[in-house]
Structures are given as structure tokens and as C-alpha cells.
Amino acid sequence: MFGMTKKQFLKKSKNCLKDTGIQLLLIREIFSKESTGKLDFDNAYHKLDKIRKNMENIFFKFEGLKPPSKCKSLQREILNTLIILQEVIVVNSEYIMLSKDGFTEESQEKFKKSIDDLENFRNKFRELSQKIDLYLRR
């Protein structure tokens, strides 16, 4: 059986980033509520858990692709970026649990780390989106 063409892989990559972008919007909504103090801890934790499961599905679906050899580095770059977002979700879940249990100083450190990591993800995500768009226009 033949593998994917470069164009097929780029289209699947674009879809992966689109699906990830939807999850990113949901995460940012939760972060926004956290920073304003209008957060229901249980509800936010369940939403983050659902987002985490969605991200796992996106990750494993993309990881299972068989791109052409010249696209392997792009696949690894996308997978590494998805891992960063998964780590953001985990750190923010820890923040929620610590806040719920009253550990304010530790929870604020987790919240700051999740915000910083999310910004790192957003920068890498933007670069990848632009790179894939550029490759698809060629």
C-alpha cells in the first residue's frame, strides 16, 4: 500500500491544527474565568478533563499518520507542539485542584506556569499554521 502524498499530509496537518485551535479556544475561555476569579472549580476541572481527552484523540490520530519521509520532521514538530498543550492542561488541572484545596501560593505558581506555557504553545502553533499554509500554497 502506498503512503500519503505530501499534499495529503499537509491537509491532514491543517485539519489537526484546526481541531487543536478549537480546543485552544475552550482552554482560553477557562483561563479567562480563572484570571477574573469567576471559576467553578468542579465545572472547570471537568471541562479541562474533556479537553484533555479530545487532545489525546487528536494527538494519537495525527501520530498514526504515515507521512512521506520529507515530512517526518514536520510531523514531529506538530506532535511536540501538541504535547506542550497537553502539559498546559495538566498544569492547569493541578492549579484547579490546589486552589480548591486552599493551597493559594502553590496554586498561583501553577497558574502562572500554565499561562506561560500556553503563550509558548500559541507562538509555536502560530508558526506551524503559517508554515503549513505556506507549503499548501506552493
The amino acid that residue 93 corresponds to is S
pLDDT of residue 34: 84
Q: Give the DSSP letter of residue 69.
A: G
State how far the alpha carbon of 48 is from the alpha carbons of 25, 32, 36, 112, in Å: 12, 13, 17, 17
Nearest to 34 by CA among 85, 78, 105, 99: 99
pTM of the predicted model, to two decimals? 0.91
Which residue is it, cell 515530512?
A: 71
pLDDT of residue 1: 46
DSSP for 70-121, written as a single string? GGHHHHHHHHHHHHHHHHHHHHHHHHHHHHHTT-HHHHHHHHHHHHHHHHHH
pLDDT one-digit tens code per residue, 36-53? 877 788 899 999 999 999
pLDDT of residue 105: 86
User: What's the pLDDT band for 2 if we cut at 50, 70, 90?
Assistant: low
Which residues neighbour 59 within 8 Å (Cβ) at sequence distance 6 or greater? 79, 82, 83, 86
**Which grid coordinates belong to 78?**
506538530
The pLDDT of 14-21, averaged and rounded, is: 97
pLDDT of residue 90: 95
**CA–CA distance, 56 with 50 (Å, rounded to integer):** 10
Which residues neighbour 47 within 8 Å (Cβ) at sequence distance 6 or greater? 26, 30
